[in-house]
């Protein structure tokens, strides 16, 4: 099955699964129950179910989505596991590594984002703990924020996810021999579980990241199959056997570490839904689940705008009788689950993937699924044919098909397939009825207001006790709390799009003062423009430090609307002045440059990649 990447150069996806129907519903708020107790080392569950979410490393840039958002939205109290994505594999050493280098799709060599991982400093306002990072602390970034989140919500297990769409290229090579498998596994354990991250830009060092990660998530897309990224190394003869041996090596070394620490370390997997990929990698071999604690089956990207012949459901629970595609293209969540359970795999070890985003087409003439015509990929904020749930949830009119268990929206031209509260309720009922272990989200920033996650949580908490035995913590959500962040109209919720307070409004931040000390991440206003400090500074005037300097303009932080191309001061207006792109300059997510008369915004850290040449999956996006 064709596997399509999503969300910049990092989206993990499988591109072929089934039909369904769709609709609208109001958001369910979680029911009250006692606070989650401390959970011993090992798995985690709420009422016997897992609620797993992927946290995208790159979301701290353009999406402005940080670990604290999980706290303020209420999601942290309802999630059981967070998969931090993604870790890369070195093409020379076959080891996990961390670096600062932008990736291009198909060319992940040497790529990483240590800055987002543990170099980005946080202010008191955007830190989980409410305390600002200090200039001399060895660990900052999302790693430190996850550490703070775990201190506040001790039931959460944090996993490092290895691979994904872009970083699966060298899995086959690393799994090829006993020596290479041992090298990969020991390096990943050393970096992420023992916390021996390299010193980069003054952050890191031996043991500095210890205690953050509770296990490892394997996201190899896909062993033995050509359906991964086109440049992936694939051995169709040996990958299947080597994959099993790799998992066996992970479990052996994790168990060895357990014998030293007394803590059980988790091993999970991102499981394909396409039978071709399942067979190629042997994913439904019951022996694999002697090594996996659990796995999550991809339940999204079953269809998408990589195929412009017709619209269709990307996350349908069941087959759609109206699906006009050939039989080998008719995928569904239910079909995928049965490919595993029919082999004798314990349903409690399986979760189903849920979409916090939509797949869409435009130039569509009808609201009926499977429509053909002169279709084009719908306009997305970061990627054509893809957008976050919270951005599309009110587009046009919503529809739901209970036969297919699928939801969609249509505004007269654009057609979005997505998960909404109604489809999530149906999938929650399915999880309970089939004795499954829970659900998994790709990815958390798409449900930034915690509407979908709380819907799943409410259904599973109200269900009979689930099959996952992990000290069975209960749901800690308290709806009597007047600041309950699950209230979508709460004007104090900083992630609420209805909130009249604009975080980029110059009135939100203090005026720059020459005598004040600022740390990385601090924002100030100077001459009506919002600037953010890249590192510690004092006495350097914003607007005078140049492209290499400490102060960077915050996109949308001036007095104009950055999202309106008709606004003469917005970045979509060619008349707006931005610095010319330079091949030697370093740019981070949100930076805007001009090249050949066009304004571009960087989606993540980059250097030397020419705007206009990186394609729809690349770092530069026209604004």
Percentages helix, strand, coil for the chain, rounded to the nearest 5?
Answer: 25, 20, 55
What distance, in Å, lies between the first and last C-alpha atoms of the chain?
A: 33
CA-wise closest residue to 331 among 344, 311, 312, 346 = 312
Backbone conformation region of residue 238, classed left if phi is above 0, alpha if psi is from -120 to 50, else beta: alpha
Residue 399 lies in a domain: yes
Which of 105, 109, 131, 221 is flagged as catalytic? 221
Does 109 participate in catalysis according to the annotation?
Answer: no
- Mean pLDDT for all residues in the chain: 84
User: How many domains, the chain?
Assistant: 1
CA-wise closest residue to 19 among 388, 405, 284, 587 = 405
CA gap 533, 100 in Å, rounded: 19
Instruction: Enter the tokens of residue 549.
Output: 């300097």
Report which of residues 514 and 256 the model is more confident about: 256
Strand partners of residue 524: 531
CA gap 287, 486 in Å, rounded: 41
CB 208, CB 221: distance < 8 Å: no
CB 28, CB 459: distance < 8 Å: yes
Residue 577 lies in a domain: no
CA gap 73, 409 in Å, rounded: 25
We report the CATH number of the domain holding residue 313 as: 3.20.20.80
The confidence score (pLDDT) of residue 589 equals 64
Q: How do residues 155-207 score in pLDDT, each as one tens digit?
A: 999 999 999 999 999 999 999 999 999 999 999 999 999 999 999 999 999 99
Report which of residues 238 and 582 the model is more confident about: 238
Q: How do residues 374-387 score in pLDDT, each as one tens digit?
A: 999 999 999 999 99
Instruction: Enter the tokens of residue 139.
Output: 């660990």
> 3-class DSSP state for residue 53?
strand
**Percentage of the chain lying above the pLDDT 90 cut:** 67
Residue 255 lies in a domain: yes
| pLDDT surpassing 50 at residue 487 | no
Residue 568 lies in a domain: no
Instruction: Enter the tokens of residue 222.
Output: 């896909």
| pLDDT surpassing 60 at residue 465 | yes
Residue 432 lies in a domain: yes
CA-wise closest residue to 352 among 276, 248, 282, 423 = 423
The confidence score (pLDDT) of residue 538 equals 78
CA gap 563, 554 in Å, rounded: 13
| pLDDT surpassing 90 at residue 540 | no
Question: Which domain does 159 fall in, by range?
Answer: 50-462
**Percentage of the chain lying above the pLDDT 70 cut:** 80
What DSSP assignment string belongs to 232-250?
Answer: ----TTTHHHHHHHHHHHH
Residue 520 lies in a domain: no
CB 67, CB 117: distance < 8 Å: no
Q: How do residues 400-459 score in pLDDT, each as one tens digit?
A: 999 999 999 999 999 999 999 999 999 999 999 999 999 999 999 999 999 999 999 999
Could you tell me the maximum CA-CA distance found in the chain, to the nearest angstrom? 69
| pLDDT surpassing 70 at residue 354 | yes
The confidence score (pLDDT) of residue 103 equals 82
Q: What is the mean pLDDT of residues 219-226?
A: 98
The confidence score (pLDDT) of residue 592 equals 83
Q: Environment class of residue 373 by beta-carbon count within 10 Å: exposed (0-12), middle (13-18) or buried (19+)?
A: middle
CA gap 62, 75 in Å, rounded: 21
Residue 458 parent element (H or E): helix 452-462
| pLDDT surpassing 80 at residue 249 | yes
The confidence score (pLDDT) of residue 622 equals 75
Instruction: Give the C-alpha distances (Å, rounded to integers) separating 62 from 108, 435, 604.
Output: 20, 38, 7
Q: In the Cβ-directed half-sphere of 613, how many Cα atoms lie within 13 Å? A: 8
Q: What is the mean pLDDT of residues 24-43?
A: 37
CB 12, CB 442: distance < 8 Å: yes
Residue 140 lies in a domain: yes
> What sections of 33-177 are H helices per DSSP?
67-72, 114, 141-152, 164-167, 171-174
Phi, psi of 340, deg, nearest 5: -95, -50
- pLDDT band of residue 614 (cuts 50, 70, 90) is confident
Residue 579 lies in a domain: no
CA gap 460, 447 in Å, rounded: 18
The confidence score (pLDDT) of residue 615 equals 65
Q: Which DSSP state fits 568?
A: T
| pLDDT surpassing 70 at residue 604 | no
- Measured from the Cβ of residue 260, the count of other Cβ atoms closer than 10 Å reads 7
CA gap 101, 14 in Å, rounded: 26
Q: What is the mean pLDDT of residues 305-334?
A: 96
CB 602, CB 619: distance < 8 Å: yes
Instruction: Enter the tokens of residue 109.
Output: 């060599």
The confidence score (pLDDT) of residue 96 equals 98
């Amino acid at each position: 099955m064709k596997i399509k990447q999503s969300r910049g150069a990092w989206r993990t996806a499988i591109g072929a699964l089934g039909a369904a129907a769709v609709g609208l519903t109001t958001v369910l708020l979680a029911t009250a129950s006692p606070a989650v107790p401390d959970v011993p080392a090992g798995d985690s569950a709420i009422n016997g179910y897992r609620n797993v979410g992927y946290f995208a490393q790159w979301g701290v840039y353009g999406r402005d989505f940080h670990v604290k958002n999980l706290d303020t939205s209420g999601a942290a109290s309802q999630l059981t596991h967070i998969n931090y994505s993604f870790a890369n594999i070195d093409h020379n050493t076959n080891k996990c590594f961390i670096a600062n280098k932008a990736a291009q799709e198909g060319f992940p060599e040497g790529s990483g984002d240590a800055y987002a991982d543990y170099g980005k400093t946080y202010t008191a306002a955007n830190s989980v703990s409410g305390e600002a990072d200090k200039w001399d602390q060895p660990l900052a970034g999302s790693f430190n924020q996850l550490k703070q989140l775990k201190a506040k919500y001790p039931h959460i297990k944090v996993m490092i996810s290895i691979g994904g769409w872009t970083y699966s290229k060298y899995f086959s090579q690393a799994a090829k021999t006993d020596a290479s498998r041992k090298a990969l596994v020991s390096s990943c354990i050393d970096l992420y579980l023992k916390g021996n991250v390299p010193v980069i830009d003054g952050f890191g060092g031996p043991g500095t990241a210890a205690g953050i990660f509770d296990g490892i998530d394997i996201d190899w897309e896909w062993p033995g199959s050509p359906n991964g990224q086109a440049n992936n190394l694939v051995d169709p003869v040996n990958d299947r056997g080597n994959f099993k041996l790799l998992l066996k090596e992970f479990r052996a070394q994790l168990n060895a570490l357990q014998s030293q620490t007394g803590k059980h370390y988790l091993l999970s997997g991102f499981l394909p839904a396409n039978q071709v990929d399942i067979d190629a990698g042997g994913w439904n071999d019951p022996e694999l689940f002697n090594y996996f604690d659990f796995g999550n089956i991809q339940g999204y990207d079953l269809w998408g705008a990589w195929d412009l012949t017709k619209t269709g459901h990307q996350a349908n629970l069941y087959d759609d009788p109206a699906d006009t595609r050939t039989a080998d293209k008719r995928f569904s969540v239910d079909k995928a689950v049965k490919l595993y359970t029919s082999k004798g795999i314990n349903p409690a070890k399986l979760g189903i993937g849920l979409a916090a985003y939509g797949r869409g087409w435009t130039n569509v003439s009808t609201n009926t699924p499977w429509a053909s015509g002169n279709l084009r990929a719908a306009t997305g904020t970061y990627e054509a044919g893809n957008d976050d749930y919270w951005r599309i949830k009110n587009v046009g009119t919503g529809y739901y098909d209970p036969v297919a268990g699928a939801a969609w929206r249509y505004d007269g031209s654009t057609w979005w397939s997505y998960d909404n509260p109604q489809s999530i309720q149906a999938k929650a009922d399915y999880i309970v009825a089939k004795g499954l272990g829970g659900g998994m989200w790709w990815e958390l920033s798409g449900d930034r207001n915690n509407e979908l996650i709380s819907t799943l949580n409410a259904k599973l908490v109200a269900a009979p006790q689930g099959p996952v035995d992990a000290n069975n913590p209960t749901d800690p959500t308290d709806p009597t709390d007047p600041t309950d962040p699950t209230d979508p109209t709460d004007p104090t919720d900083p992630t609420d799009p209805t909130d009249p307070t604009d975080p980029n409004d110059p009135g939100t931040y203090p005026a720059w003062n020459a005598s004040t000390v600022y740390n990385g991440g601090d924002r100030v206003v100077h001459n009506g423009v919002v600037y953010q400090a890249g590192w510690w500074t004092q006495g350097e005037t914003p607007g005078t430090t140049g492209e290499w300097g400490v102060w960077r303009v915050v996109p949308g932080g001036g007095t104009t609307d950055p999202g309106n191309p008709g606004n003469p001061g917005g970045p979509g207006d060619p008349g707006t002045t931005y610095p010319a792109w330079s091949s030697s300059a370093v740019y981070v997510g949100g930076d805007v440059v001009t090249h050949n008369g066009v304004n571009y915004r960087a989606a993540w850290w980059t250097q030397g990649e020419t705007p206009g040449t990186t394609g729809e999956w690349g770092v530069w996006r026209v604004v």
